[in-house]
């Protein structure tokens, strides 16, 4: 009988870099346990997914209750499911007017695909802007938003009509014109290594979009649900998008994503001739029940307001000679090292010492620190001491 590890290596397809090879047995709170019983601090939350930690009791209870009632019954939108309706009500209550309709999908990338279709249908324009260094997903539409041709050229031809502006580049805002359907942007660039917006860049971007009648789409797939110290980053940076995209931590570990916008913008999708957008599993009752428990817990425990204090503590604790700079927006952090060659050593040494961090897609000098929002001050101090130790080894 081959081992799980052998089966994984022989039969589970890899379409990206070699995996970290941690053989997961179970996970609870901020810890992941491997099959040998070794415990790891999870300091990246599965890339900003497990904000409530792993297997939060409120999420486990909600999922357990829902699977016993019903799972899939009929293709999205044709039956009324209470988890969907209740969640849409709770989410929109946290948002500004105009963000009051929710369309459910399963992943972050899908929210981007639907948004790209919707902005073209609603405005009747084709041009879409994204920012250099952005990551919005790996399907054809989302991939067209990437600026780095090296990543996309092997799959050409891609989706036409996409242009790029520099993130935080005010002069580039002039490129957005009356031909532009929308600008799709992350409020804090994630995979380029945590680049927060400068000054009132996002407000200026929104003003420019309004001047020319283009829509502002904010990808809060990493920044959403408290990660930056506000429930949503757009609330932190004082700008309301026309379309908000959320996923990742939304489901407390269950797969779900959503677009939030106005009735007016969504209604363009129904206008003939078009099938709008449909998807079999969007708004799955179990995922929506998990999302409701997740958001209720975030609100009840007022987690976003506690993030800034924890960010400060991590910044104080993360001092080391091989750190060049730490960039952060709340508990979304990039630790940039003085030399590129240290990066993989630090990540590997952390694994050995029982702590998980990883690297970014488009930054080969920084590692990600984005622990579950429920991490305690004591755990932060312990985890940072392991991180410093790992960096000591890299220096040698």
Q: Does 229 bind ligand PMP (CB under 6 A)?
A: no
Q: Does 133 bind ligand PMP (CB under 6 A)?
A: no
Least spacing, CB of residue 130 vs ligand PMP, in Å? 11
Q: Which residue's CB atom is positioned nearest to ligand PMP?
A: 108
C-alpha separations of 68 from 37, 104, 129, 293 in Å: 31, 22, 44, 16
Q: Which one of the spans 89-97, 132-140, 162-170, 193-201 is the region binding ligand PMP (CB under 6 A)?
A: 132-140
DSSP one-letter string for 239-274:
---SEEEE-GGGGTTS--EEEEE-HHHHHTTTSSS-
Least spacing, CB of residue 258 vs ligand PMP, in Å? 12
* Number of alpha carbons in the 13 Å side-chain half-sphere of residue 349: 18
Of the pair 299, 361, the CB lying nearest ligand PMP is at 361
Q: Does 113 bind ligand PMP (CB under 6 A)?
A: no
Q: Does 372 bind ligand PMP (CB under 6 A)?
A: no
CB 184 within 8 A of CB 133: no
Least spacing, CB of residue 317 vs ligand PMP, in Å? 25
Q: Does 249 bind ligand PMP (CB under 6 A)?
A: no
Of the pair 168, 177, the CB lying nearest ligand PMP is at 168
**Local structure of 316: helix, strand or coil:** helix
Q: Does 147 bind ligand PMP (CB under 6 A)?
A: no
Least spacing, CB of residue 38 vs ligand PMP, in Å? 27
Strand ranges of the sheet holding 323-329, from the earlier edge strand across to the other edge: 323-329, 332-337, 363-369, 358-360
Q: Which one of the spans 163-171, 184-192, 210-218, 387-395 is the region binding ligand PMP (CB under 6 A)?
A: 184-192
Rounded Cα–Cα distance for residues 164 and 167 (Å): 9
Footprint of ligand PMP on 33-62 (CB under 6 A): 47
Q: Which residues of 118-136 are buried (b: 16+ CB within 10 A; e: fewer)?
A: bbbbbbebebbbbbbbbbb
Q: Does 186 bind ligand PMP (CB under 6 A)?
A: yes
Rounded Cα–Cα distance for residues 239 and 220 (Å): 13
DSSP one-letter string for 217-244:
EEE-TTTTTTTTSSSSHHHHTT---SEE
Q: Does 363 bind ligand PMP (CB under 6 A)?
A: no
**Local structure of 124: helix, strand or coil:** coil
How many residues interact with ligand PMP (rule CB under 6 A)? Answer: 14
Q: Does 221 bind ligand PMP (CB under 6 A)?
A: yes
Footprint of ligand PMP on 80-109 (CB under 6 A): 107-109
Q: Does 135 bind ligand PMP (CB under 6 A)?
A: yes
Q: Does 190 bind ligand PMP (CB under 6 A)?
A: yes
Secondary structure (H, E, C), 27-81:
EEECEEEECCCCEEEECCHHHHCCCCCECCHHHHHHHHHHHHHCCCCCCCCCCCC
Q: Does 247 bind ligand PMP (CB under 6 A)?
A: yes
Least spacing, CB of residue 198 vs ligand PMP, in Å? 19
Least spacing, CB of residue 136 vs ligand PMP, in Å? 5
Residues of this chain that interact with ligand PMP (CB under 6 A) are 47, 107-109, 135-137, 186, 190-191, 219, 221-222, 247
């Amino acid at each position: 009988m081959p081992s799980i590890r052998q089966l994984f290596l022989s039969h589970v397809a890899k379409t990206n870099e070699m995996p970290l090879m941690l053989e997961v047995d179970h996970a609870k709170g901020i810890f992941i346990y491997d099959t040998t019983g070794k415990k790891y601090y999870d300091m990246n939350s599965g890339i900003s997914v497990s904000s409530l930690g792993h297997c939060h009791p409120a999420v486990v209870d909600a999922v357990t209750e829902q699977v016993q009632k019903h799972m899939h019954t009929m293709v999205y939108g044709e039956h009324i499911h209470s988890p969907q309706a209740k969640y849409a009500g709770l989410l929109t209550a946290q948002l500004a007017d105009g963000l009051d309709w929710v369309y459910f999908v399963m992943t972050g990338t899908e929210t981007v695909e639907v948004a790209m279709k919707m902005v073209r249908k609603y405005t009747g324009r084709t041009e879409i802007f994204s920012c250099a260094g952005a990551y919005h997903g790996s399907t054809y539409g989302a991939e067209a938003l990437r600026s780095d041709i090296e990543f996309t050229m092997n799959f050409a031809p891609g989706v036409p009509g996409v242009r790029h502006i520099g993130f935080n580049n005010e002069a580039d805002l002039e490129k957005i014109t009356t031909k532009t359907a929308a600008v799709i942007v992350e409020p804090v660039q994630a995979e380029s290594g945590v680049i927060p917006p400068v000054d009132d860049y996002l407000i200026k971007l929104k003003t420019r979009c309004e001047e020319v009648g283009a829509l502002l789409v904010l990808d809060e797939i990493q920044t959403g649900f408290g990660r930056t110290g506000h429930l949503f980053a757009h609330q932190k940076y004082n700008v309301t998008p026309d379309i908000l995209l959320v996923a990742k931590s939304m489901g407390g570990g269950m797969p779900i994503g959503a677009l939030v916008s106005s009735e007016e913008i969504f209604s363009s999708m129904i206008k003939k001739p078009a099938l709008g957008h449909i998807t079999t599993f969007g708004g799955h009752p179990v995922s929506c029940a998990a999302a409701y428990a997740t958001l209720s817990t975030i609100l009840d425990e007022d987690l976003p307001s506690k993030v800034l204090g924890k960010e400060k503590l991590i910044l104080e604790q993360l001092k080391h000679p091989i750190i060049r700079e730490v960039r952060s927006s709340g508990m979304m952090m990039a630790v940039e090292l003085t030399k590129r060659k240290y990066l993989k050593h630090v990540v590997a040494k952390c694994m050995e010492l029982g702590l998980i961090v990883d690297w970014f897609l488009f930054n080969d000098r920084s590692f990600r620190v984005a622990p579950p929002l429920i991490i305690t001050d004591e755990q932060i101090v312990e985890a940072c001491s392991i991180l410093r130790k790992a960096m000591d080894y890299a220096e040698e």
